Amino acid sequence: MNHVVVDNLLSFLAQDGCTDAEFDRVALHLFAEQHAANAAFHRFCAGRGVTPRTVKSWRDIPAVPITAFKEVTLSCVPAESAERVFMTSGTTRGDVKGRHYHPTMAVWDASMARHFAQRFMRGAERMRMAILFPSEQEMPNSSLAHYLAMATERFGTSDSLYALNLQGMDIEPLQRMLREAERTQQPCALLGASFSFVHLLDELARTGETFRLPPGSRILDTGGYKGHSRELPLEDFYAGLSATFGVPRELCINMYGMTELSTQLYDDGNAVVPSVKSGPHWLRSRLADPLTGREVPRGERGVLVHCDLANFNSVTTILTEDVGIAVDGGFQLLGRAEGAQAKGCSLAVQEFLQAART
């Protein structure tokens, strides 16, 4: 691991922002490093005729499709020397998991803490938190479990709790905590996977209990439903959260993150959906045609490409499967680019895979 790179990056993250030129300088430097040290990425670039010479800006860095994290080792250090490996949950192809190797957690943790403080805590030091996700011990390879553990350790009070384990939801301590918050008027935070919130909403709807959490209380959901719960339209989801917990939709914040990144993106609440998402100064996003990788004209739908400078060991620039549209201040997320539904009578990949699975 290159300590100079890590140290430089940590001070870059600690800056108050950066200019385009500064961003490009770090991006190109990391690109050259990764191009030289990462054999799979080197071949990938060669296939596209791209070398550090031809890359002039972060937009020129070839975006690696996230499926590549499943197929090849994307790491500048030997994989076995990594301090931590995060794995995808394998929702799209249950058998194969994508792996993201982190030689040190220093950068990931700094990225998380800095941006979380800005976008979720918004000046608050600590807050009582309830986590709707299994703990880091239960899911050691989950980047989300680590994220939520960090949130409670660095930003939660000591009486924060986990309301969920691998066995299921433990709703009573959670209900007690929410009632207590109502009584003491101490703001609290609920954080977890979107599908866990759907289960919680269903559960509370059954008992008919609702809460009026004190001002300043907030909610963070992430990750969509991934087949773990019923699909709830965004509008209904946030209306339900707001009605059940008494938290204004401006304080229902959605975090957009992925195993393949080292940085999370946020919106500024969900009063209007779809919300506008954006990253910190060390991450930039663009919308591309998935086939050519070229940027789509502004206002047109495209697939999201993120250049995350905190991804210093894998690849900075990834091509996601998420469809978005660029707007002022960031982008709106419009869902996943599911394979085209067959318009003709030729078998589509989706249907074929489905049949192959059954």
Partner 1 sequence: MTSPWTAGHLPGLAEGEVGWQVLAFGAGAQKLEVRVPVLEPRQLRALARNVRAAARRELRTLSVSQVIRVIDAAVVRLLDPADPYRQEALRLLPTVSGYDAEMVRLGLDGYLQRFRAPQLHRFVAEDFTNPKVLDEFQPAIKGGAVRAFGPDLLLHSWAGNVPALPVWSLVCGLLVKAGTVGKLPSAEPVFASLFARLLAEVHPPLADCIAVVWWKGGDDASAAAVIAEADTVLAYGGNDAITQLRAQVPVTTRFIGYGHKLGLGLVARAALDTLRAPATARLAAHDVVRYEQQGCYSPHHFYVQEGGKVTPRDFAQYLAAELGNLQRRFPRRALALEESAAIAGWRQAAELQSLADAGVELLGAPDAAWSVAYSDAPQPLSPTGGGRSIFVSAVEALDEVVPLIAPHARFLQTIGMAAEPRELHRMADVLGEAGVTRICALGAMTSPEAGWHHDGRFNLLDLVRMVEVEASAERAADALAAYAQEPQP
Candidate residues 28, 58, 65, 285; the one interacting with partner 1 per rule CB under 8 A: 65
Candidate residues 7, 51, 56, 71; the one interacting with partner 1 per rule CB under 8 A: 71
Q: Which stretch binds partner 1 (CB under 8 A): 10-18, 96-104, 131-139, 348-356?
A: 348-356
Candidate residues 192, 269, 279, 302; the one interacting with partner 1 per rule CB under 8 A: 302
Q: Is 352 in the site for partner 1 (CB under 8 A)?
A: yes
Query: Which amino acid makes up residue 114?
Result: R
Q: For residue 299, how many other CB atoms are within 10 A of its CB? A: 9
Q: Which stretch binds partner 1 (CB under 8 A): 194-202, 231-239, 258-266, 298-306?
A: 298-306
Token duo for residue 251 = 């304080």
Q: Is 227 in the site for partner 1 (CB under 8 A)?
A: no
Cβ 291 vs Cβ 310: under 8 Å: no
Smallest gap from residue 42 Cβ to partner 1 (A):
10
Candidate residues 1, 32, 272, 348; the one interacting with partner 1 per rule CB under 8 A: 348
Which of 73/141 has CB closer to partner 1? 73
Q: Is 344 in the site for partner 1 (CB under 8 A)?
A: yes
- Alpha-carbon dihedral 202, 137, 101, 317, rounded to 10 degrees: 30
Candidate residues 208, 291, 328, 357; the one interacting with partner 1 per rule CB under 8 A: 291
Q: Which stretch binds partner 1 (CB under 8 A): 147-155, 175-183, 221-229, 296-304?
A: 296-304
- 198 vs 240: CA distance, rounded Å: 9
Q: Is 236 in the site for partner 1 (CB under 8 A)?
A: no
Of 282, 281, 260, give the one whose Cα is nearest residue 75.
260
Which of 112/303 has CB closer to partner 1? 303
Q: Is 230 in the site for partner 1 (CB under 8 A)?
A: no
Query: Angle at the Cα of 167 (from 165 to 169), degrees rounded to 5?
Result: 60
For the chain, the maximum distance between any two Cα atoms, rounded to a whole number of angstroms, is 64
Smallest gap from residue 239 Cβ to partner 1 (A):
25
Q: What is the per-residue DSSP string for 127-142?
A: BEEEEES--TTT-TT-
Candidate residues 117, 290, 327, 332; the one interacting with partner 1 per rule CB under 8 A: 290
Q: Which residues in 2-61 contact partner 1 (CB under 8 A)?
A: 40, 43-44, 47-48
Candidate residues 32, 121, 293, 327; the one interacting with partner 1 per rule CB under 8 A: 293
- 215 vs 251: CA distance, rounded Å: 10
Query: Angle at the Cα of 146 (from 143 to 147), degrees rounded to 5?
Result: 85
197-to-203, 205, 221, 237, 258 alpha-carbon distances in Å: 10, 12, 8, 9, 19
Q: Which residues in 306-325 contact partner 1 (CB under 8 A)?
A: 321, 323
How would you classify the pairing of strands 168-169 and 84-87? unpaired
Which of 31/133 has CB closer to partner 1? 31
Stretch (H or E) spanning 153: none
User: What are the φ/ψ torsions at residue 196 (nearest 5 degrees)?
Assistant: -65, -35
Q: What is the per-residue DSSP string for 248-309?
A: -GGGEEEEE--TT-SS-EEES--SSSSPEEE--TTEEEEEE-TTT-PBPPTTS-EEEEEEET
Q: Is 298 in the site for partner 1 (CB under 8 A)?
A: no
Smallest gap from residue 73 Cβ to partner 1 (A):
10
Which of 39/205 has CB closer to partner 1? 39
Q: Which residues in 127-146 contact partner 1 (CB under 8 A)?
A: none
Binding site for partner 1 (CB under 8 A): 40, 43-44, 47-48, 65, 67-68, 71-72, 289-294, 301-303, 321, 323, 337-349, 351-352, 355
